[in-house]
Amino acid sequence: MESKNLLYSVYYNWWKNIDKFIFSLIIFLFLIGLFFSLVSTSLIASDKLDTNDYSFFFKHLAFIILGLAVIFIFSSIDQNKLFKYSIIVFLISLIFLFLVPLIGIEVKGSKRWLDLYLLPRFQPVELVKPFLIIFISLILCNQKYNNIFYKYFFSFLITLIVVLLLSLQPDIGQSLLVLFSWSILIFTSGISMIFLIFLFSSLIFVFIYLVFFVQKFEYIKNRLISFFDSESGTYNFQSDKALESITSGGFFGKGIGEGTLKNRVPEAHTDYIISVISEEFGVIAIILISLLFLVFIYSVFKKVYLENDEKIKLILVGSISLILMQTMIHIGVNIRLFPTTGMTLPFISYGGSSIISISILSGVILNLTKRKIN
């Protein structure tokens, strides 16, 4: 009886204090992904995964249920404990990321997955990203050290370690996303714009050197050349088909189950989900989903504006910027604004690692936007 009362008390206090509008948007985005996994990608993805017809949908549903549990845990935990445990989990996830080039599972020429004993196969970078945001924010807001440039250097060093480990996989898309997140955090913390421009100019120079003079990254050079000159290679096949499907779907789409993209590209249910949706439900679906993301982002930024704690501000800005950038990259690849990067659409794409990652970020956002109790 006491345990029941305790659980009810925890739930009641959690529900009473969280931002219900932001929570509703998160749930709605998850439900959209689940709906499209059922009506647009379930059967074909199940065929590719060599499973029974709707097992893909039920697996997606299981990931979302697990994600909701993760959201509840991260949104209900005490903030000081959240910061403390986040440092520990970040260091553990960094170890996992270090193990990927050594014992990772190679898929299509890249090692991005770990398959450890008693653990399901997962992508360590998806665990690293949310806790990197928190860790860098804690460094930049650490009151023990007054030298701000020391904080910038240490935060850059941590980010550089993550980027180098990602480059070994190789995963340039996630590397750029991590660098972008770090730059947003240091810009928000008040770094000089001149210094930021100098830093990014240096990083661009390093990127050009790696792509054009280091053999390991030759595939990126070929992909870039192919992107700007479609007749020079086959790297644009998937993005060309994705754009073609969006065009053929028109404004209102071909109808449920009538799309063909899901039969023509291997990652339709993850990297090209927005094109699958657009082909069957029309460009109007992309517009509505984009508006939903913008409302979500705006709602969080409204909370940032009202927040006085710099640490919480940084974490919220970093978290929502990461979601925004990943969404923009996914849509940009699908409409051929960017080269193929293998980036999922937050909340909506299939994938256990990406769903858990966005659930952690969502839980942190809900935790830090809770109603303050005096």
- Which of 49-53, 113-117, 217-221, 350-354: highest mean pLDDT? 350-354
Helix (H) or strand (E) holding 238: helix 237-249
Percent helix / strand / coil, the chain, rounded to 5 = 75, 0, 25
pLDDT, mean of residues 174-196: 84
151, 145 contact by CB (below 8 A)? yes
Q: How far apart are CA 220 and CA 207, in angstroms?
A: 10
Tokens 């909340």 locate to 347
- The pLDDT assigned to 219 comes to 65
Q: How far apart are CA 2 and CA 45, in angstroms?
A: 46
Q: What residues does each domain of the chain span?
A: 2-368
Convert the pLDDT of each residue in 58-102 to its tens digit: 888 999 999 999 999 999 998 999 999 999 999 999 999 998 888
Residues of the chain with pLDDT > 70: what percent? 79
**What is the C-alpha R_g of the chain?**
21
- The pLDDT assigned to 260 comes to 60
Angle between helices 273-281 and 237-249 (to 10 degrees): 20
- Asked which of 142-146, 167-171, 212-216, 297-301 is least confident by mean pLDDT, the reply is 212-216
Q: What amino acid is encoded at 198 in this protein?
A: F
- Asked which of 33-37, 92-96, 263-267, 347-351 is least confident by mean pLDDT, the reply is 263-267
- The pLDDT assigned to 113 comes to 77
Q: Which letter does DSSP use for residue 345 in this model?
A: P
> Is residue 45 predicted with pLDDT exceeding 60?
no
Between residues 192 and 329, the one the model is more confident about:
329
- Asked which of 70-84, 132-146, 208-222, 360-374 is least confident by mean pLDDT, the reply is 208-222
pLDDT, mean of residues 150-170: 86
Nearby residues of 370 by Cβ (< 8 Å), 6 or more positions away: 17, 18, 19, 75
Q: Which residues does residue 122 pair with via DSSP β-bridges, in sequence order?
A: 114
Q: What are phi and psi of 93, to 5 degrees?
A: -65, -30
- The pLDDT assigned to 238 comes to 67
